Amino acid sequence: MSGRTTSTSKYIVLKILQFIPLLFGVVVVNFVIIHSAPGDPAFALAGRSLASEEYLTMIRHEYGLDKSLPEQFFIYLTQLLQLNLGYSLFYRSPVLDVILERVPATLLLAGTGLGIAFIFGIILGVLSSRKPRSFKSNAMSLFTLIGFSIPEFWLGQMLILVFSIMLGVFPVQGIITARAELTGLQYVGDVISHLFLPAVTYALFFLALVSRLTRAAMIEALSSDYVTAARAKGLKERTVLLRHALRNALLPVVTVLGLRAGVAISGAVLIETVFSWPGIGRLTSEAINARDNPMLMGLLIFLTTSVILSTTLTDVLYSRLDPRIRYR
Amino acid sequence: MAFLQSFLTTYAQSKLGVVGLSVFLVFIVLAVVTPYIAPFDPDALLVGKPLSPPSSTYIMGTDSFGRDVLSRILYGTRASLLVGVLAATTSAIIGIIVGAIAGYFGGRIDDLLMRVAEFFIVLPQFFLALIMAAIYGPNLLNIILIISILGWPTTARLLRAQFLYLRELDFVAASKVVGEPKIRIIFAEIFPNALSPIIANSALLVGTAVLLESGLSFMGLSDPNVFSWGKMLGEAQNYIRQAWWLATFPGSCIFILVLAANLIGDGLDQALNPRLRAV
């Protein structure tokens, strides 16, 4: 037992050590983008439209833009390590503050969407794994293909058209009804009714992904020896399916989902724009329209770091969940 | 020829694959004949009353500037196909070069290249594409390059896996003994044998590229000189209450084209992958 604990903690340390070069890679990518931008890199750091000549001079000084490239990289890195992601002239506040303000809305949307996708994806995957060549199963593959092919933002527009405009069941946009002073349960209900359509839109891609992964993992698990053994013991089919097969099948599903954190964030950008959902994604489209470059670069650093953090966490979690993984 | 024939017969067995290919060919034909069949000049303002619903004259209605939606969609076919096919080809080429080098030489180079590929897979692709397009400027060439730079790792990984297996086989050893140059062994001996998973994957890359392009132009990052379905959806966003047709038709086109590309990918996979065929 103690042997396993040490090997797991070694594995975690190893993963964290691998995390550092990835993070370094992110900083390099950012630095390269800033410096390969057409024109003066000060524009990329300041935001072209609003910056005065004095401000640009200040930025040039702050980031040492008259020094050599390696020195500039070092200065840039030091700024980031001090959590200075720059200053947005458009929002008139530090980039990191604006981003952090928007994080909860995105977490609410993504969390709900992923929750829906996970629950229904597993149900669909299990149901279709039982007879892999049946009509139901083929219909499932077609559904997954549709989930991967449909542009999410367009799906959002279509849902708005049908459910908000034609049927009037859900509000069109935003996170709460403007100017309605709601409290307590009414407030929660209002947010939920605003959340429903964007969350469903967000869920579809992941629903397709989870159900396909679950199906594949279940088909494999159902043909394995321990399932045959469980059946031979005379256990109920339900017990075999859920307690024996599904438990083992879930592991790869969780992992792949964790590694898709990048996709999760990309999806939020478009969907939040369609639904005017005031999160990180909406912030991105505002920053693009305002040509707020420091905000964009800050978002890039912030999001890529979060993505890499979440993949590292998934790896670590995986090592805790799967007894077969041991690292010396 | 015999190979081609057997390939075509196996491909034809996948009904959905045939449907996908037919739809894709229809889009190509439309892109070619667009100037002859478009009912109006796609840029002409006020060919009809702004925001007129679909009718026999304006089959897909008009937009807020009174431009004909159908004509704009037809011209948009060209950009989507161009970006889809060119970006998929370029990223496949980058992936092939990286994957071949990593798989053939192995060792340190392999480790390094695969680390880089993994890094690119983990990154939020669409987000990175957005920011690069915003900073470098969203012209057609930049968009194709950005999508290619983000799309190569899947191809590289697939090809590397093939190479790791194939390089150990006798025919490679034979070429080495004869003294063929490395570059010839890589590209003339091993590569043709490693090709099949790459072909199926490239069809999927076309779909991804079309989706990425439409997402970028939806966000307002598109070439101002090019007609784009995604851009039409971005404009439709402001009129969603008044004009259902503005979003419905261009979005359906993106969906159908991407679905066709994915169906082709699945069909190719079944036709070229002997293990899937046996099932």
Q: How far apart are CA A308 and CA A302, in angstroms?
A: 10
Max Cα-Cα span within chain B: 75
CA distance A237 to chain B (A): 26
Residue B1 has pLDDT above 70, yes or no: no
Does the residue B15 lie in any domain? no
For residue B135, give the nearest of A44, A161, A308 by CB distance.
A44
One-letter identity of residue A131: K
Question: Do residue B254 and residue A154 have CB atoms under 8 angstroms apart?
Answer: yes
Tell me the per-residue pLDDT of B206-247, one tens digit each, with 9 for 90 and over.
999 999 999 999 999 999 888 999 999 999 998 988 889 999
Q: How far apart are CA B19 and CA B21, in angstroms?
A: 6
Range of the domain at B217: 59-274
* Neighbour-count burial of A174, counting CB atoms closer than 10 A to its CB (0-12 exposed, 13-18 middle, 19+ buried): middle
Contacting residues of A for B251, CB less than 8 Å apart: 151, 154, 157-158
Tell me if A277 sits within 8 A of A198, measured CB to CB: yes
Residue in A closest to B134 by C-alpha: A288
Does the residue B209 lie in any domain? yes
Domain count within chain B: 1
Tell me the per-residue pLDDT of B62-101, one tens digit each, with 9 for 90 and over.
988 889 999 999 999 999 999 999 999 999 999 999 999 9
The whole-model pTM stands at 0.88
Question: Do residue A172 and residue B207 have CB atoms under 8 angstroms apart?
Answer: no
The end-to-end CA distance of chain B, in Å, is 26
3-class DSSP state of A168: coil
Closest CA to B240 of B226, B228, B227, B250: B250
3-class DSSP state of B68: strand
Does the residue B245 lie in any domain? yes
Q: How far apart are CA A223 and CA A216, in angstroms?
A: 11
Task: Provide the token pair at B71.
Answer: 């004509």
Q: How far apart are CA A41 and CA A58, in angstroms?
A: 13
For residue B270, give the CATH number of its domain.
1.10.3720.10
Does the residue B225 lie in any domain? yes
Tell me if B176 sits within 8 A of B185, measured CB to CB: yes
Q: How far apart are CA B83 and CA B141, in angstroms?
A: 9
Winning range, highest mean pLDDT, from A84-88, A209-213, B24-28, B172-176: B24-28
Does the residue B4 lie in any domain? no
Does the residue B220 lie in any domain? yes
Question: Do residue A263 and residue B236 have CB atoms under 8 angstroms apart?
Answer: no
Does the residue B12 lie in any domain? no
The angle that helices A184-222 and A247-259 make with each other, rounded to 10 degrees, is 120
Does the residue B49 lie in any domain? no
| pLDDT string in tens for chain A (328-residue length) | 444 556 667 777 877 777 888 888 888 888 888 888 777 777 777 765 566 777 888 777 777 777 778 888 888 888 888 888 888 878 888 999 999 999 999 999 999 999 999 999 999 888 888 776 777 777 888 888 899 999 999 999 999 999 988 888 887 777 777 766 777 788 888 888 889 999 999 999 899 999 988 888 888 888 888 888 888 888 888 888 887 788 878 887 877 777 777 778 888 889 999 999 999 999 999 988 888 888 888 998 898 888 888 888 877 777 776 656 554 4
